[in-house]
């Protein structure tokens, strides 16, 4: 094996290891929970964001059998949340969450945690829902 080929193979191997670690970290960080629908509200406990004592997840994905698409709820602080429908505005594919962005597996559109388009082909922001915090429950207004 020539030196150039050896360096290329080692470099590709290192990149593969790093990429795999990042992908696994993203998957491990996603918490899926079942939310309850009461009237036009999808409810979830605020404690769903708790990772360990005084350490919180940045987001959770809320599912319910009545919903066609899940809802990603981002936590910015104890009183500031954002709920986004995980449906790509380009062609309706279900989005995936990676840290502070949502990505479409079909065509690569990316959205920020506030729902704005970061990269196309999508050109419309995600649908967002108002959130009401009552005691230790978050109520997402689906109407």
Nearest-angstrom CA–CA distance, 135 and 60: 19
Question: Considering the chain, what percentage of its residues have pLDDT values greater than 70?
Answer: 81
List, for residues 74-119, the tens digit of each pLDDT value: 999 888 999 999 999 998 899 999 888 999 998 889 999 999 998 8
Nearest-angstrom CA–CA distance, 95 and 105: 7
List, for residues 113-141, the tens digit of each pLDDT value: 999 998 889 999 999 999 999 989 999 99
Q: Tell me the whole-structure pTM to 2 decimals.
A: 0.77
């Amino acid at each position: 094996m020539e030196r150039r080929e050896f360096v290329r193979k080692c470099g590709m191997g290192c990149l593969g290891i790093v990429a795999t670690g990042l992908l696994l970290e993203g998957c491990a960080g996603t918490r899926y929970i079942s939310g309850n629908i009461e009237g036009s509200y999808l409810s979830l406990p605020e404690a769903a964001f708790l990772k360990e004592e005084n350490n919180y997840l940045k987001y959770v994905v809320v599912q319910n059998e009545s919903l066609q698409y899940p809802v990603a709820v981002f936590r910015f602080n104890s009183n500031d949340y954002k709920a986004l429908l995980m449906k790509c505005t380009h062609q309706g594919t279900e989005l995936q969450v990676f840290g502070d962005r949502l990505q479409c597996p079909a065509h690569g559109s990316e959205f920020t945690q506030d729902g704005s388009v970061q990269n196309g082909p999508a050109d419309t922001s995600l649908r967002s829902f108002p959130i009401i915090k009552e005691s230790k429950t978050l109520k997402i207004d689906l109407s």
